[in-house]
Amino acid sequence: MDRKVKVVPCSGIGKVYGLMAREAVLEAVFDLCPEKSETVCLGYIVTGDKEVKERIEGFDCITVDGCPKMCAAKNVSMAGGIVIEEIKVLETVKEHKGKKFGSPTQLDADGEAVTSEIAAKIARKINEIN
Ligand code: SF4
């Protein structure tokens, strides 16, 4: 059975922190840990897609959220995923006070650098779980 860690970002449309969550997950899953992790679309989880539910139910998951509403963490948990780590974009952002990160559709240089920092945190967690 495929035991890859499922890494799920919030959708975060319209917010730069949501874009950072999604980009950080893509970097972690496709560039840093392609053998050990995969991502799943939050929209399918929210709508109760049967195939996606089977992919996360009972599996180790990492969620990455762009704001305190924690949409990814809550919905993955409600769908039966075992949330090993809830990563909050804002925790990393707070360490970079005064920086601008870009727009909801385009990260600038600081946004990309901080997103890579979040991706590295995700990758460390994936490796710990494995
Ligand atoms: S956690 Fe916040 S930014 Fe992410 S989808 Fe939910 S409301 Fe939007």
13-51 confidence digits (pLDDT tens): 999 999 999 999 999 999 999 999 999 999 999 999 999
Q: Looking at residue 55, what is its pLDDT?
A: 93
Give the number of other CB atoms < 10 A from CB of residue 80. Answer: 14
Residue span of the structural domain in which 102 resides? 5-129
CB of residue 15 inside a 6 A radius of ligand 1:
yes
Evaluate: CB of 67 within 6 angstroms of ligand 1: yes
- 62-121 pLDDT tens trace: 999 999 999 999 999 999 999 999 999 999 999 999 999 999 999 999 999 999 999 999
Selection from 29, 4, 35, 41 nearest residue 122 by Cα? 29
Dist CA 9 CA 119 (whole Å): 11
Distance 1 CA to ligand 1 centre (A): 31
Does the pTM exceed 0.85?
yes
Q: Which of 94, 99, 84, 86 is nearest to 129 (CA)?
A: 84
Cite the DSSP H helix spans in 27-106.
Answer: 42-46, 50-56, 71-78, 89-93
124 is written with which tokens? Answer: 């460390």
Positive or negative CA dihedral for 27, 10, 92, 113?
A: positive
CATH of the domain at 30: 3.40.50
How far is the C-alpha of 67 from the C-alpha of 104, rounded, in Å?
13
**81 Cβ below 6 A of ligand 1:** no
Per-residue confidence (pLDDT) for residue 130, from 0 to 100: 86
Looking at the structure of the chain, the number of domains it has is: 1
